[in-house]
Structure 1
Amino acid sequence: MVSHTERWARVRGVAWGAALAAVLGCRSSPTPSAGKEVIDVHVHLTQADAVAPLLAHMAKHRIDRAVILASPDLTSGRGGSGLSGYRAGNEIVLDAATAHPGKLIPFVTVELGHDDLPYLAELRRRGACGVKLYQGHNLFHERPLDDPSHQAMWQALADQALPVLLHANTVRYRGELEAVLRAFPSLRVACAHLCGSRTDLARVESLMQAFPGLLVDTSHGSAGPAAEGFANLERERAQLLGLFSRWPERFLFGTDLVTSGLNPTSTEMWDLQAESNMGLLKAENFRFFRQTEGQSARVLGTYQGLHLPPEQLGPVLGQNAARWLGACLR
């Protein structure tokens, strides 16, 4: 699996000097209003030496807290397969959160099978606040989400009222997700990337209608998937605005930042990722890579943002996350 940083570097046809100059030229990106706490619920902290750059990045973009997610080797760009390396990823986020309590909120990763139940208990004793689950992604999908061997873990997550951030490919595994949500209605689940439906808002709307407790994050990661998502949300802007008006309490701000690659090019891309994800919600227009007609490569372009009113922007940027995280913020 190619890391997010490598994906940036492989965007075909982009002249990096010109691209970065353009990024630096749009530093008047939207920032939160004073007095409004901003919580990024989707940050992959992949290495210990990225903590200081991450904190500086948060300060630069006025992000008050970040949910830092433990990452397996595949997500961190270290290779491997499946969930390999996830326990090492747990150590990274627990150590970072211990050093920066309240600022960095640790979400650990577990194998859904029942064998990880004692391990979850240990992680909880050590300060784990919530859980990030990757098994709804096709690269980590070894068994159905509703497999019988997963039932004990789902029950434990529900019983302990732990916030869960779940990556769910709802094209492939929607039925499995629905089975889990029906079986465990008290699960405190936030479904990443508009529940895998950035290019099909009708799907996320039907899921939110069917499961009133389901939250979704608005995160877009790097390169192709984000560009495709932003382009579709621009086309379906009116429908997305309707969802925010209908359920303002159910959306969470996230960036899907992956902290691998500590070099000037990578950290400039961190900036662009934060600005575009914030811009989607707050701005009239924002910049990110896009595929333009007549060009085979993605280039920096402008998208129309949602420009949410204050009564919707405040909840999505932080208030909804604060309720979902609950005791994690104390």
Structure 2
Amino acid sequence: MKNIKKFRRPICGICLVAIAAIFVAFVATRSSDSLSGLDQGDYMIVDVHENIESQDGIKELISVMNTVNIAKMVLAAAPEEIFDYIGEKGFTEYEDNNDTVLSVAKKYPDRFYAFCTIDPNDSSKVTTAMNCVAEGADGFKLYNGHSFFYEYPLDDDRMLGLYNYIQEKGMPVIFHVNTGYYIDQFKNVMTLYPDMKVICPHFCLSSKNPTQLAELFAQFPNLYVDISFGYKDYLESGLIRISDNIDVFKQLFAQYPDRFLFGTVAVVEDDDAEKDSEWITDTYQTYRDMLEKDTYTTFYVVDETTGEEIQLKGLALDAATLEKIYETNWATVMME
């Protein structure tokens, strides 16, 4: 019996050390991956639109989300051409990115939604969509209204089965549409599927024509937009455009506060040295500043001669409107 007692003590000691190590790891994981890392006195922001090339930087992305107080994020799958454009048209490797966003959302369900994308030329679109839903997809992202990926009219019979499936499932779709080219086709789709919850990103590419956007809102109660601008050149132009027409945009937000959603689309890539955590943090914060402040500066808009950041006018939205954009409009879309 003495020998047994002597043998048990070190084993128990090892157990205690192991348990302590597991506890420390658990606490560390919760602090970064759960909502405990957020400022509970701030808005619990939902970012409804981001692309990630792989899972490699997901921990860093969660850390950035915590810094900007983004509680949850939609990861919208994309073809390889979004991440690595080599000058040729195509819609490749999107299945791999579908798997990526689905995997991340499964691993971090409190922090991410997964939106699958569908190739417009996939002859089995509905089956592909059904398989995504079976794997846990929360919605979809369509690029067939993107001028680079445009192959045939948005209201073509080849797309109608997919639209109908999305509407029947009651799931939202991020529908990238260049309304400068395809607005009539887009209106036809919206008319055919009045219950399909559509998020048209980048102000529905209508920030140059806010009157047109207001008309779309008035005509289609199922239409939402996110406030992102996309790539950095577009973001710079968009921020300047809003600053130069601040009263027009304030009126638009005041008239349709229930239709705007917070989105960023920094496009998180693996091999872009510029897009480190600081860059992504500053990009996300820029969108918050645009919505919340009277004036602000950002590294996106600088004086060409001096390199100094130029002061821009912000929307300075009231707390009730910000809460809608950051939280409750999305809850309505998702019926949460």
TM-score (structure 1 length as normaliser): 0.84
- Mapping of residues 1-330 of structure 1, within 5 Å: 34=41, 36-77=43-84, 79=86, 81-112=89-120, 115-261=124-270, 265-267=274-276, 268-288=278-298, 289-290=300-301, 292=303, 295=304, 300-326=309-335
Q: 1:179 to 1:212 in 2, by over 3 A?
A: same
Contact kept in structure 2, 1:37 and 1:319, CA below 8 Å? no
Secondary structure of the residue aligned to 1:102 is coil
**Cα displacement (A) at 1:134:** 1.0
Partners of 1:296 and 1:168 in 2: CA distance: 36
**Cα displacement (A) at 1:35:** 5.1
**Cα displacement (A) at 1:75:** 0.8
Secondary structure of the residue aligned to 1:172 is helix
Q: Which has the larger radius of gyration?
A: 2
Number of positions where the alignment pairs a residue of Structure 1 with one of Structure 2:
295
Partners of 1:89 and 1:299 in 2: CA distance: 38
Q: What runs of 5+ residues in structure 1 fail to find an aligned partner?
A: 1-30
**Cα displacement (A) at 1:120:** 0.8
Q: What runs of 5+ residues in structure 2 fail to find an aligned partner?
A: 1-37
Q: Which residue of structure 2 aligns with residue 27 of structure 1?
A: none
Identity among equivalent pairs (%)? 25
- Please tell me the residue identity of whatever aligns with 1:41: V
**Cα displacement (A) at 1:33:** 7.6
**Cα displacement (A) at 1:222:** 3.4
Partners of 1:304 and 1:139 in 2: CA distance: 32
Partners of 1:42 and 1:277 in 2: CA distance: 13
Contact kept in structure 2, 1:40 and 1:67, CA below 8 Å? yes
**Cα displacement (A) at 1:263:** 6.8
Partners of 2:258 and 2:105 in 1: CA distance: 27
Partners of 1:263 and 1:214 in 2: CA distance: 33
Secondary structure of the residue aligned to 1:257 is coil
Which protein, 1 or 2, shows the higher relative CO under an 8 Å CA cutoff with sep ≥ 6? 1
Q: 1:138 to 1:88 in 2, by over 3 A?
A: same
Deviations 1:43-81 (A, max 9, x none): 101111021111111011111000011111111226463
Partners of 1:265 and 1:72 in 2: CA distance: 21
